[in-house]
Amino acid sequence: MPDAQKKTRVLILGGGFGGLYAALRLDKTLAKDPDCEVSLVNDTNYTLFTPMLHEVAASDIDPTNIINPFRKMLKRVVCYEAGVRHIDLHGRKVTIDFGVRRTKELEYDQLLIALGSETKFFDEQTRVNAVQMKSLTDALLLRNQMIGLLEWASIEPDEDRRRRMLTFVVAGGGFAGVETIGAMNDFLREGLRYYPKIDPKMLRVVLVHPHGVLLPEFDEALGHYTTDRLREAGIEVRLNVKVDSFDGQVVKLADGTAIPAITLVWTAGVVPMPIVDTLPVKKQKKRIVANACMQVEEFPGVWAVGDVADIPDPTGKPYPATAQHAMREGKRVAKNIEATVRGRPERIKPFKYKMLGQLAAIGRRRGAAQVFGLRFSGFIAWWLWRTVYLMKLPRIEKKLRVAFDWTLDLFFSKDVVQIINIKEIQRFTEIGTRRFHLLDAAKNPGEVEHPAGDGRAAPEPATHGETVSTGSGSRVSGPG
Ligand SMILES: Cc1cc2nc3c(=O)[nH]c(=O)nc-3n(C[C@H](O)[C@H](O)[C@H](O)COP(=O)(O)OP(=O)(O)OC[C@H]3O[C@@H](n4cnc5c(N)ncnc54)[C@H](O)[C@@H]3O)c2cc1C
């Protein structure tokens, strides 16, 4: 298609805060231009609003209310629900995988890398046994696990096992950890009233933090305030100690303490997506080094924002990895890309942002906040948290839905419906495997007839001129 080849191709990898806000801007500018094509690749067909993730885990809001489909937000940008498998910076092309083991190559003139980060673990055993709080699925699984364990504990005759089921540990006392434990504690204590056979004294909720003060991003006084309020709410806060290991049954701390527990939620740090490691560019703490204009200098036309990028502030220090930075970097980088494509280099500007403040919800309708240098705590900080994040949540439809959920939450107790129990998880796994093989077989009719699940081994897929990948890229997306 000679026409398509003449077009300037802008490719955005990742549709989180950085990628989405760049795409939103480009949708109204470059994407309108018939000589440009703007594309966005993300492994889900929606963007996730992470600051409200703990509210999903605690049953405060409906899960789908904190996600927004790209297709409702972007009119002209071409969307690919696909995983980024390989980035070839020398060849200026990206390989994506989609559906069931299909791959496609996308060439670009301008590339924005905004793939975010994943949870950082210190060992494999903890990684496989702990619950994460990074995706919508993580929040749903945590909610299900809490309810499932209440159900089991109410039947379990053995006291030690019951205690283990009713002990919930969170590792990490930063924003994600504090908000998660506050929400879990509220949910569990409120939910207990529907389980009269469980002695409420058996419930143990523990926060383990490696430093002396919680929420290190805040003023110390707010950290102490948060510790006091969490303890008041019945949470055991263990400071200055690290989690050493977790085998799925016992959480071992570095000071020798062993906490029998089935649930460990790991929120102790993030690291840029591993694909970044493969790129032949300068890195700082695994983040791509970009200049103040967010350009990756070794490769003209390549830009990086958000958690994957090390972007210097005016003093030379890197900006922190937060949503409020990523979304503003996304907006600025879009303008810089526009300036480049339109041949107006004088319009390329550095990213400059001074954080206005930070807010944390810590449970029981209390919060901690530092805004414009002022400290707030208690109900007012919680109210600020809700107001600010409701404003930041994309799209009016979702804002209204969340506001509605919050209003209902004032009048009704938390829902303890366990949507997916362990038997359902097993069934989903079977159905998923079966569908995967059926769809795989459908690509090459006549060759693969026996999907797994029939007791017969599914054959390896064959290739018919199209590219078929055999490894597992990132998450498999497709009509499971
Ligand atoms: C529980 C939690 C609470 C948080 N609360 C706050 C808060 O209150 N305030 C705040 O400022 N920050 C908060 N953060 C941090 C914030 O979410 C991140 O800093 C922000 O999301 C970074 O934006 P990003 O665009 O770099 O990455 P992300 O928003 O993570 O976006 C990356 C996107 O890339 C996609 N992706 C990744 N790999 C691939 C691949 N191989 N192929 C295709 N797509 C891929 C992902 O699905 C995702 O959509 C929180 C984080 C968590 C986990």
How far is CA 478 from each of CA 100, 154, 223, 433, rounded to the nearest angstrom? 7, 38, 43, 12
Are 294 and 311 a contacting pair, CB within 8 Å? Answer: yes
pLDDT on residue 157: 97
pLDDT on residue 457: 38
pLDDT tier for residue 451 given thresholds of 50, 70 and 90: very low
Q: Rg (Cα) of the chain, in Å, rounded?
A: 24
pLDDT tier for residue 346 given thresholds of 50, 70 and 90: very high
High-pLDDT (> 90) share of the chain, %: 83
Mean pLDDT (whole number) for 1-25: 87
Strands 263-266 and 258-260: unpaired
The pLDDT mean for the chain works out to: 91
Phi (first) and psi of residue 399, to 5 degrees: -60, -45
How far is CA 116 from each of CA 10, 109, 303, 309, rounded to the nearest angstrom? 19, 22, 14, 9
The protein residue with its alpha carbon nearest to ligand 1, atom 34, reads: 14
State pLDDT tens for residues 39-95: 999 999 999 999 999 999 999 999 999 999 999 999 999 999 999 999 999 999 999
The protein residue with its alpha carbon nearest to ligand 1, atom 6, reads: 51
Q: Which atom of ligand 1 is the closest one to the Cα of 360?
A: 8
Mean pLDDT (whole number) for 264-270: 95
pLDDT on residue 5: 58
CA of 308 to the centre of ligand 1 (A): 10
Phi (first) and psi of residue 46, to 5 degrees: -140, 165
CA of 306 to the centre of ligand 1 (A): 8
Can you tell me the distance from the alpha carbon of 92 to that of 103, in angstroms, rounded to the nearest whole number?
Answer: 16
pLDDT on residue 476: 29
pLDDT on residue 379: 96
State pLDDT tens for residues 294-303: 999 999 999 9
Pocket probe for ligand 1: among 175, 215, 371, 474, the residue whose CB has the most ligand atoms within 8 Å is 175
The tokens describing 325, both together, are: 């930075």
CB-defined site of ligand 1, < 6 Å: 14-19, 41-44, 50-51, 53, 83-84, 114-116, 133-134, 175-176, 273, 275, 306-307, 321-324, 326, 474
Mean pLDDT (whole number) for 326-351: 98
